[in-house]
Structure 1
Amino acid sequence: MDKIERQINSLAIDEIVPFSYIKLKDVSKDTIRKYLHRLHERGLISIEKRGYFKKIEPFNEFLFVYGSLKKGFDNHKLLEKYAKRIGKASTVGKFAMYEDSFGNYPYLIKEPITKVMGELYEIKRKELLDKIDEFEGAPEYYQRKKIKVKTHKGVNLAFVYIREIEEIPKEQKPLKIWENNTDYKVHKLDSFLAGLH
């Protein structure tokens, strides 16, 4: 792996080369391809098309998630392959967390009520952050901001998605942690539908 990284480091940023550029004595093409895919996941290279890759600018950011992107939740699949889970985390500052009408997702607003619990991830690929921006509807629906979050490893600056123009829902109590509770969601939907009649 070190020999492959040395060969890649000799490349210019964004120079596209075929997989065959990597030459290692007594190492099969399949093994080299597997190594290159691992380096792609680590954010050292980007695989462009079948059989080609390029060296990319190093990228390293942290992302704090508190809703459906958490491990075990509906949308975690967006993070599980290309982001490294650091662990459970909480905001250093205080926010208010509420949820949409049906309990499908939570959102933070800048109201100093409580520290919010979630998870911290390390992201090594810019295109992953771009994909999450698109998923979260940023910057129209959510705004991606940097805040301080605390884990068992200390304090980090991390991106978080916040709703900046949002009124406090009077009918809800602010949440400290968002749970994935299907029965609760069904109850909220039933209540909403009952209110339409």
Structure 2
Amino acid sequence: MANWADTQKLGDSSTAEWQKANLVEITSSNGQTWQVYKDAAPAFTGFLQELEATGYLPKSSGGYNYRPIRGGTKLSQHAFGNAIDIGAAANAMGSHATDMPSGVSDIAAKYGLEWGGNWKRPDPMHFEWTGNGAGQPAASAPNSFAGIPQQPPQNALAQVQQPEYKTTQLDPRAFMTPQNQLALLRISRG
């Protein structure tokens, strides 16, 4: 279930104490980094490893960022480190266009992640931890990628470390085309 985390379940993620105790940094094999919730780190790590195994090189467009959902007052899952954005320039919110490999939604689901590209208002850069999965593919998940192991490979991406406290000020909307910005404005106004 997307948008599962809130301050009643996880605490006040705006404080430096919460961030120090609950956020870790994950790094892809090509050196991209995301700051994520420590319990979600294995799921994001496994997902990124399998995504890279398809030949896709993820570009970080952000992880933890204390902010509300666009156009609302409820905190975004980014505010808890439960969401990452990948390749914002090629996967703009409000667009069905994506450079993600086919089957990315299935790969994400195996690790307890929901892909924003499936949403009513698509957000193909967005991957959100549902609170399920611990970094290993679900036993019942179909393997639609012949030759890709069910267990994620152990490589540099598996390195999870405590970061120094830092705030991400990157807003993926900055990467949106003017057409996507207009479409998003029309959607938000109904």
Whether TM-score is above 0.5 comes out as: no
TM-score normalized by the length of structure 2: 0.22
Structure holding more strand per residue: 1
Return the structure number with greater relative CO, CA threshold 8 A, min gap 6: 2
Structure of larger gyration radius: 1
